[in-house]
Amino acid sequence: MTVVVNLGHVADVVSGVGFPKEMQGNAEGEVPVFKVGDISIALKNGTRHLRRSPNHLTKEAAKLLSKNLMPAGTTIFAKIGEGLKLNRRGILAQPSLVDNNVMGLIPKAGVVSPDYLYYFMQTVDLGELSQATAIPSVRKSDVVEIRIPLRVLRDQENIVAEIEKQFSRLDEAVAGLKRVKANIKRYRASVLDAFFADEPNVCLGDVIETGPQNGLYLPKSAYGSGTPMLRIDDYQTNWMRPVAELRRVNATDAQIAAWALREGDLVVNRVNSMSHLGKCASMPASLAGALFESNMMRMGLKAHTLPRYVELYLGGSRGRGRLTQRAKWAVNQASINQQDLLATPLPLPDIDRQREIVAEVDRLLSIAREAEVEVDTNLRRVQSLRQAILSAAFSNRNAIT
What one-character-per-residue DSSP string does 116-185 give?
A: HHHHHHTT--HHHHS-SSSS-B--HHHHHT-EEEE--HHHHHHHHHHHHHHHHHHHHHHHHHHHHHHHHH
Of 379, 375, 395, residue with least CA distance to 170 = 379
Mark residue 255 as left, alpha or beta (left: phi above 0; alpha: psi -120 to 50; beta: remaining).
alpha
Query: What is the chain's pLDDT, residue by residue, as a tens digit (401 residues)?
Result: 788 899 999 999 998 887 666 655 565 667 888 888 777 766 666 678 888 777 777 777 666 666 778 999 999 988 887 766 666 788 999 888 888 888 999 999 999 999 999 999 988 888 777 766 667 788 888 899 999 999 999 999 999 999 999 999 999 999 999 999 999 999 999 999 899 999 999 999 999 999 999 999 999 999 999 999 999 999 987 789 999 999 999 999 999 999 999 999 999 999 988 888 999 999 999 999 999 999 999 999 999 999 999 999 999 999 999 999 999 987 788 999 999 999 999 999 999 999 999 999 999 999 999 999 999 999 999 989 999 999 999 885 443 43
Report in angstroms the alpha-carbon separations of 395 from 15, 163, 252, 257: 28, 13, 60, 62
**CA separation for the pair 246, 231 (Å, rounded):** 8
Read off the amino acid at residue 285.
Answer: A
Task: Give long-range contacts, CB 8 A cutoff, 24+ apart: 187-191.
Answer: 187/368, 188/365, 188/368, 189/316, 189/317, 191/361, 191/364, 191/365, 191/368
**CA separation for the pair 201, 387 (Å, rounded):** 56
Phi, psi of 119 (to 5 degrees): -65, -35
**CA separation for the pair 225, 281 (Å, rounded):** 24
Of 324, 300, 315, residue with least CA distance to 205 = 300
**CA separation for the pair 142, 126 (Å, rounded):** 10
**CA separation for the pair 69, 63 (Å, rounded):** 9
